[in-house]
Amino acid sequence: MTAPPDIGEHPAPIDCAESTDTGYTSGNPFEITVVHIDGRPVEKSTANAYWVMREAAAAAGVDMHINSGFRTMAEQEYLYGCYVNCNCNSCNLAAKPGYSNHQSGHALDINTATPGVYNWLAANGGAYGFTETVPGEPWHWEWWGGGPGGGVCDISLPPTGYLDTVDCDNVYGWAQDPDAPDASIDVHVYFNAPAGDPNGIGVPTTANLHREDLCMALGSCAHGYKLGVPLSLRDNTTRPVHVYGIDIEAQKNPQLSQSPLSFTCAPPALTGVRRHIPHPDVLASWKFDVFWDLVTVDEPTLLALPDWIDIEPVPQLIRADDGTPEVYLKDGGVRRHVPSPEVADNWDFDLGAVVTVPAAEVYAIPLGTPVRDKPVLVKGPGPEVYQLDDLQCPPDSLARMPGRRHHRRRPDRRGPDHRRHLRRFDGQRRVRSQQRRLVRQQWQRRLGRQRHRHRRQ
């Protein structure tokens, strides 16, 4: 075999201007990104790995450069013809077009005929990810990954960060991409197993929380992340948590320092009444998520929670048309205040779909307890799923509570019980009082007219 000609005094050693071409692996085409080193086209990642190796060789006094890098299909067809017909290129061995690693971007022909180059490569090339792969061709070296990393052409550094801690409520930490140090990056949190394992459940979040302790250390502050722990995993089982920083340039997504950590948490304290979710369609209409919202308990714990009426088939959100901002959930015979946009988000309520209703109709509905901060579902050994809720006590819903009788004592109109009753059902009571007053006035006017006619007769 004859070594490819040394290009001697090579041109500008590096040109990182990118271009695209068609590369080939095992005959299959793909788009390849090419830069130039020593005037030769080289696949970008291979070029960066080679450049680090070249700089190390130069520091040792070895003048290394590239004689051949990436090849197009036309160039490979020419060299293969020379090999088959033995009429050019010194009949050197050449792979079939579409199957050369020069076309895949991984192969370089290096000036090993120059004194000192081959010996340095043989001793050090492996440390930079380069190996001699073709017997009888000491100039042919290939890079398939590895080495110290770095380079010169638009190098993408992987994200860094920490999984600081995991407790029974949240996963905490920080992440930053050094290539965009002020940007907030995505973080992927995997419960139960690492990414790629079918047992792992991945949840995306964003490292965009302000953390004062990061301002000096990183040069910017908004790199913290915090993700809640799903209720379904609070089951006294040890659960691993793996956290990955997502590279802005879609390169490597490394696992953050101190990941994985694990947690073992008991189910949360359960209070209130349970409301049956009678059908999967109802579960879907409320947008409940059994991974995040469902607690599984034993049967005694489930039965200790009082059973109440079924959950409404769909959530209904209303607002009065008098300009007040309050949003209410219509729930049976009551209206329940949605305290904040955060609570609405926890419940997946669409605040853009709130129905505006005449104020008199809204305020005529008795006011119940506010909507809980976030949904909690519970199930026992059986298939039934319930929502945990606060008991609502308007007269009509009390009468519908299964398995119980309710006797409402008529309030003393002269005593404090009546005043408490009025405060509780103020809107409804006022409407009814006005209606009764109007009826009395109508009867009084009618009776007065009858008496007047009787006196005239």
Which residue, 348, 354, 336, is CA-closest to 374? Answer: 348
Q: Write out the two tokens for 295.
A: 């607690």
Residue pair 202/213 in contact (Cβ under 8 Å)? The answer is no
Q: Write out the two tokens for 11.
A: 């041109």
pTM: 0.56
Residue 150: the pLDDT is 82
> pLDDT (tens digit, 0 to 9) for every residue of the chain, 457 residues total?
555 555 444 444 788 888 999 999 999 999 999 999 988 999 999 999 999 999 999 999 999 999 999 999 999 999 999 999 999 988 988 999 999 999 999 999 999 999 999 999 999 999 999 999 999 999 999 999 988 888 888 767 789 999 999 999 999 999 999 878 899 999 999 999 999 999 999 999 999 999 999 998 888 999 999 999 999 999 999 999 999 999 988 888 999 999 999 999 999 999 999 999 999 999 999 999 999 999 999 999 999 999 999 999 999 999 999 999 999 999 988 999 999 999 999 999 999 999 999 999 999 999 999 999 999 999 999 999 999 999 997 544 444 444 444 444 444 444 555 454 445 445 555 545 555 565 455 545 554 544 444 344 4
Q: What angle do CA 238, 224, 189 make, to 5 degrees?
A: 35
How many whole angstroms separate alpha carbon 136 and alpha carbon 3? Answer: 10
Q: Write out the two tokens for 270.
A: 């359960």
Residue 205: the pLDDT is 97
Where does residue 354 rank: exposed (0-12), middle (13-18), buried (19+ CB within 10 A)? Answer: middle
How many whole angstroms separate alpha carbon 234 and alpha carbon 230? Answer: 7
Where does residue 106 rank: exposed (0-12), middle (13-18), buried (19+ CB within 10 A)? Answer: buried
Residue 181: the pLDDT is 87
